[in-house]
Structure 1
């Protein structure tokens, strides 16, 4: 078992397995970020404890399917615009973008399954398998199979903690992996009668993808809401509605938080001779005093402290 305790969210973000994406903190961090990972050679259990309210935009890795189960703050979790409760789980397909809002610091568990193992299960269960799971993200209501899945996950965690050599035996690892994969699919496929599978609307997905792609492409260039609208080929109202639904905030606030995170990353990777005001200026900050106050309220330190910590780390 790999265990990480991260004082900062970006180390936690980089360590996530099976997905690649970006956190935007919606609130000041309240605690450290913790991650546990158990690798069963093609299936990985990941347990996360986030340190703040967040908005996460990610994409499944090309060869990996994921099931996402909140362990706390279920009522404060929104995935692809769908509010969660104690009866809800998420399914993420490879190369599909998804968005998770946690309105307070939350804990969760995911199981990532390699594509070859998924296809093997599909081949042997073709008569009961919903083929849309191979190409769509779903939010599923119904937990008849999830209780059994969680029970098995806790058993594996206990064995890995108390007798880690046990799961290193090829036969034992194969048995645990096979049972886990079967329970993942049972959890996703055994949806309560009358419950719906919710998919992102294609137009919403297009608007959000184009807007976020522009942010990733423009780097330090200041970006405004009208730029997002032009990139998405949508009205400001449409962009605002999509951001509220999938990211839990309007585009103005998201842009402000995105810029703050980008400046923090630039401060953490500053070159010799870089200054706080110079870095902030590159990102379009003109009222540095106000920005410093907002930065401190959000990250708990001033921009100058972030830069000093970076230089102290470089000297060390």
Structure 2
């Protein structure tokens, strides 16, 4: 399967973001579009479940919540690598007969999903990424990680990537299904890229501590050169990492040590400046959201706060100057 298989909203008329409630484990399993799953309820009581699904050209992401202990087995969307990330601590989780007693992220090929036994009250993030696309990203970033030994569980230990991923999912829950913000390809791509980067951070080791100062400065210079040459078009941290051959963790480490600012903040500042330039050439308040979304700011409350913090005024005050 290629990326086009994941990008089905236009063909199958599926929304980019959907939310459903379920009252039966079989219904719950069958509503995960593209997955072939079987759920057996193991605890007593009425089943209640919720599924929040986000789709883009690059990923399928589902927040899966339910209230009964279950045995789960099956397959993810064909040709993908599937990630299972608990968004809260779950005791008594068993993966292929082995108890998992610490926070983890499970990774598997779509056709080699391990059998899971989950307890009552679970909150889990499921992400399917096209295998070829993920491998290409790892190769572009010069990672030694190879997609060969799945399924496997990796400890998360409450890492920054896990907290940032959980924050993103919580923020996405505030978006309106079928809302205008997700109609922007730039925003869908930005969300997808952010999720992919956080997942890569969770499963790859830290290779930055051995970098010499000259190597760190060289990485920063290349990143700045790329950013400055693409100011007239939206781009993400993932685009930047792939172009200069560095992981997100390495990029953050280099920026922090060479400039005293993290790479995400640097990129956000460049995008905010680009929004400001466009607003100065416009004189309609309707332009604010459209311009912000075009530059990848999909959460308008946070955008407005970031803009005011950066420039000392609201976006509406910048219009037409």
Matches within 5 A, 1:144-163: 144=159, 145-158=161-174, 160-161=175-176
Matches within 5 A, 1:286-297: none
Tell me which residue corresponds to 2:41: 25
CA distance in 2, matches of 1:111, 1:170: 19
CA-CA distance at 1:99 after TM superposition: 0.9
Matches within 5 A, 1:9-24: 9-17=25-33, 19-24=35-40
CA-CA distance at 1:73 after TM superposition: 5.4
- Long gaps (5+) in structure 1: 192-316
Tell me whether 1:51 sits opposite 2:36 in the alignment: no
CA distance in 2, matches of 1:34, 1:100: 18
Higher helix share: 1
The 1:175/1:24 distance shift into structure 2, 3 A limit, reads same
Instruction: Tell me if structure 2 keeps the 8 A contact 1:57–1:98.
Output: yes
Tell me whether 1:138 sits opposite 2:138 in the alignment: no
Tell me whether 1:34 sits opposite 2:21 in the alignment: no
Tell me which residue corresponds to 1:176: 191
The 1:3/1:63 distance shift into structure 2, 3 A limit, reads same
CA distance in 1, matches of 2:84, 2:34: 11
CA distance in 1, matches of 2:74, 2:130: 17
| CA offset digits 1:193-221 (Å, max 9, x no partner) | xxxxxxxxxxxxxxxxxxxxxxxxxxxxx
Pick aligned residue for 1:101 from 87, 111, 117: 117
| CA offset digits 1:104-124 (Å, max 9, x no partner) | 242211122122421321221
Matches within 5 A, 1:161-310: 161=176, 164-190=179-205
CA-CA distance at 1:134 after TM superposition: 4.3
CA distance in 1, matches of 2:90, 2:34: 22
CA-CA distance at 1:67 after TM superposition: 1.3
Instruction: Tell me if structure 1 keeps the 8 A contact 2:23–2:46.
Output: no
- Match of 2:116, SS state, is strand
CA distance in 1, matches of 2:194, 2:144: 17
CA distance in 2, matches of 1:164, 1:34: 20
CA-CA distance at 1:135 after TM superposition: 5.0
State the TM-score, normalizing by the size of structure 2: 0.53
State the TM-score, normalizing by the size of structure 1: 0.54
The runs of at least 4 aligned residues of structure 1 exceeding 3 Å deviation read: none
The 1:190/1:75 distance shift into structure 2, 3 A limit, reads farther
CA-CA distance at 1:102 after TM superposition: 1.2
CA distance in 2, matches of 1:6, 1:151: 25
- Match of 1:35, SS state, is strand
CA-CA distance at 1:12 after TM superposition: 0.7
Instruction: Tell me if structure 2 keeps the 8 A contact 1:18–1:65.
Output: no
Instruction: Tell me if structure 2 keeps the 8 A contact 1:67–1:112.
Output: yes
RMSD: 2.5
Tell me which residue corresponds to 1:121: 137
Matched positions, count: 189
Instruction: Tell me if structure 2 keeps the 8 A contact 1:82–1:139.
Output: no
- Match of 1:37, SS state, is strand
Instruction: Tell me if structure 2 keeps the 8 A contact 1:93–1:135.
Output: no
The 1:31/1:72 distance shift into structure 2, 3 A limit, reads farther
Instruction: Tell me if structure 2 keeps the 8 A contact 1:94–1:135.
Output: no
- Match of 1:38, SS state, is strand
